[in-house]
Chain A
Amino acid sequence: MRLFTGQSAFVAQRISALLLLACVAVVALRLAIGPSPTFAQWRAWAGQPLGGAVVLVLAGALFMHAWIGARDVLIDYVKPFALRLAVMTFVAAGLCVLAAWTAVIVATHAL
């Protein structure tokens, strides 16, 4: 399955890692310096186009990172070709569904 292989996967894995690292750092800092956000604050941030766009970019990085990592693990441990193809297809399809679901959530609340 030639979906993110070799050097492009290596680079995408690291760029997405840095994005997600920045996201976690910001969220951890926000939770550390003040009280946890209320619904109104969360909604005000995530429920408008800019916040929604940030959520979408991070979700894109997350699903890409998840796919590259899951693919590496499956290639290492699932040896029979038919089984590997089946499991990879399942994981890839699952991640696609989740990505689409995330896009629907963002479109519903942030537009």
Chain B
Amino acid sequence: MTDSQAVKRGTARPVFLDFARIRFPVGAIASIAHRVSGVVLVAALPFAVFLLGRSLEGEEAFSAVLGSARSIPGRVVLLVVAWACAQHLFSGIRHLLMDVGIGSSLNAGRASAYAVLVAAALVSVGVLVL
């Protein structure tokens, strides 16, 4: 049954795509952050493999890889990748713990969702400062 058929029969589930009316509880934001960071990390993979190869080529290439992280564009990329890495790791740990039944109550889930969002932001800023 297509969506329009379902609407005619009155069996369609309510669909709200009005972004002003959709509620985004913190758990939903943490969930989306896990996905967005995952997609960012997949997009970063070609560069990661390239840098792995460069870093093993020789002293100069190794220094160039580290030096590129200190340039202004390098710092922007580093900030984004560090955030994606930290966010994906922290929310991933949260998901793994929930898989085994730890922290899956509503209150604990909300608290841990706040915690992983804040922790990832702090780590990414920390990586940039270091």
**Residues of A bordering B, CB below 8 Å:** 14, 17-18, 21, 24, 36, 39, 42-43, 46-47, 55, 62-63, 66, 69-70, 73, 91, 94-95, 98, 101-102, 105, 108-109
Contacts and interface: CB of A to CB of B under 8 A. Distances in A.
Given A66-B42, A109-B56, A42 B62 contact: yes
B49 A105 contact: yes
Contact of B53 (A43, A70, A73, A101): A101
B39 A70 contact: yes
Q: How large is the interface on B (under 10, 10 to 19, 20 to 34, 35 or more residues)?
A: 20 to 34
Interface of B: 35, 38-39, 41-42, 45-46, 49, 52-53, 55-56, 58-59, 62-63, 66, 85, 89, 92-93, 96, 99
Given A14-B99, A109-B56, A73 B38 contact: yes
B92 A39 contact: no
Given A39-B58, A70-B38, 14 more contacts: A17-B92, A17-B96, A18-B96, A39-B62, A42-B62, A43-B56, A43-B62, A70-B39, A73-B35, A91-B42, A94-B46, A101-B49, A101-B53, A109-B56
A70 B92 contact: no
26 contacts: A14-B96, A17-B96, A21-B92, A21-B93, A24-B89, A39-B62, A39-B63, A42-B62, A43-B56, A43-B62, A46-B56, A47-B56, A55-B52, A63-B45, A66-B41, A66-B45, A69-B38, A69-B42, A70-B39, A73-B35, A94-B46, A98-B45, A98-B46, A101-B49, A101-B53, A109-B56
A66 B41 CA distance: 8
Q: Which DSSP category, helix, strand, loop or mixed, fits chain A's interface?
A: helix
A39 B96 contact: no
Contacts of B85: 24
Nearest to A43: B56
